[in-house]
Structure 1
Amino acid sequence: MTTYTGNVTPGGTPEVRELSRLIITKVAVDDTMSNNCYVLRCRATDEQVLIDAADDAPTLLALLGPAGATKVITTHQHWDHHRALSDVVAATGAVTVAGEPDAAAITEQTGTQVDDAVRQGDVVEFGEIRLEVIHIVGHTPGSIALKYDDPDGTPHLWTGDSLFPGGVGNTFGDADAFVSLINDVEAKIFGTLPDETWFYPGHGNDSTLGVERPQLAEWRERGW
Structure 2
Amino acid sequence: MFRTAFSANSLLALIIFFVACQKESTQRLPYYNTPDFTPIFVQSEADLTAKVPHIIGRFSFTDQHGVSISQHDIEGKIHVADFFFTSCGVICPRMTKHMQLVEKAFPNAADVVLLSYSVTPWIDSVGRLKSYCQTNHIQSKNWHLLTGNKSEIYQLARQSYFAEEELGFSKDSTEFLHTEHFLLIDKHKRIRGIYNGTLELEMQQLIADIKTLRQES
- Both proteins in one fold, TM over 0.5: no
Q: Answer 1 or 2: higher relative contact order, Cα 8 Å, separation at least 6.
A: 2
TM-score for both structures, normalised by structure 2? 0.29
Q: Highest Rg: 1 or 2?
A: 2
Report which of the two has the higher share of strand. 1
TM-score for both structures, normalised by structure 1? 0.29
Report which of the two has the higher share of helix. 2
